[in-house]
């Protein structure tokens, strides 16, 4: 057997392991990518609509801050996205359950974003929205450009998971042992950097590794990246403005 041929086969196996979705015809891959971004766009539009309703209809926000029932409902709304994620993960390939769970997840998270924005200055919300839009578009275009030239961002996975764990522990410390405005600003800055990394990582996964029937989970991953980046920007700019 030709030794050069053996090397080529081994290289092909390694390549297919790293980029299994590259074996699909380009038309199928682009159809999948368009489907994911269409779902993501609908999620973001729903989030803007729900959040704007909460912000501009003032009795809604007052109900949540001035009544015991409102506070209890606020806690339920906060934990609903976390609870919904588990069945969504197991049913993200089961129609119509995947879309029903996705709708509940998106509306609950959008309501939480709206309540956060209801107690934030309009100027800060606008600045955070503009920054988030510019960053997301720039990183998405960069990732597509880099992937076309053979760059791979899969190595970011372990680092981002570790950074996310640090952010979660940092947030819990802030809840029980508040460390002041400076620590909140540091948290907002670190969270913004981490979720910028997640946007690059998840976009790279979308291009190369998600299978065609994982469109719901791919959209959820990118949606969480965008929302968390926006909240991080909101936190950072809000503390800086104060």
Over residues 200-221, the pLDDT tens digits come to 999 999 988 888 888 999 999 9
d(CA 158, CA 201): 11
* Predicted pLDDT of residue 23: 56
- pLDDT given at position 42: 96
Distance between CA atoms of residues 138 and 67, nearest Å: 42
Give pLDDT, residue 19.
47
Q: Which residue's entry shows tokens 């038309």? A: 27
Which pLDDT value is given to residue 98? 87
HSE-CB of 82 using CA atoms within 13 angstroms = 6
Predicted local confidence at residue 4, as pLDDT = 45
Task: Please give the structure tokens belonging to residue 58.
Answer: 């003032």
Predicted pLDDT at 12: 37
Structure confidence at residue 16 (pLDDT)? 41
The whole-angstrom separation of Cα 78 and Cα 128 is 21
Predicted confidence at residue 15, as pLDDT, reads 40
> Which residues of the chain fall short of a pLDDT of 70?
1-24, 242
pLDDT at 72: 85
Structure tokens, 20: 């299994």
| CA terminus-to-terminus distance, the chain | 72
Cβ atoms of 136 and 199 within 8 Å: the answer is yes
pLDDT at 242: 65
pLDDT in tens, 72-94: 888 888 888 889 988 988 888 88
């Amino acid at each position: 057997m030709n030794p050069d041929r053996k090397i080529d086969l081994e290289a092909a196996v390694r390549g297919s392991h790293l980029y299994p979705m590259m074996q699909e015809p380009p038309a199928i891959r682009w159809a999948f990518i368009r489907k994911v971004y269409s779902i993501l766009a609908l999620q973001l539009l729903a989030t803007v609509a729900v959040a704007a309703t909460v912000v501009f209809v003032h009795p809604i926000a007052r109900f949540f801050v001035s009544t015991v029932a409102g506070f209890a409902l606020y806690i339920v709304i906060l934990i609903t996205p976390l609870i919904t994620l588990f069945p969504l993960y197991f049913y993200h390939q089961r129609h119509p359950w995947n879309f029903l769970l996705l709708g509940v997840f998106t509306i609950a998270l959008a309501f939480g974003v709206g309540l956060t924005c209801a107690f934030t200055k309009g100027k800060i919300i606008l600045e955070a929205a503009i920054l988030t839009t510019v960053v997301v578009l720039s990183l998405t275009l960069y990732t597509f450009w880099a992937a076309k030239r053979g760059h791979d961002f899969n190595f970011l996975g372990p680092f981002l998971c570790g950074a996310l764990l640090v952010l979660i522990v940092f947030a819990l410390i802030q809840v029980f042992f508040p460390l002041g405005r400076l620590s909140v600003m540091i948290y907002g800055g670190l969270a913004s950097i981490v979720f910028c990394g997640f946007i690059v990582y998840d976009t790279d996964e979308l291009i190369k590794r998600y299978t065609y029937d994982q469109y719901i989970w791919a959209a959820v991953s990118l949606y969480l990246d965008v929302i968390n980046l926006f909240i991080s920007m909101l936190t950072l700019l809000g503390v800086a403005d104060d």
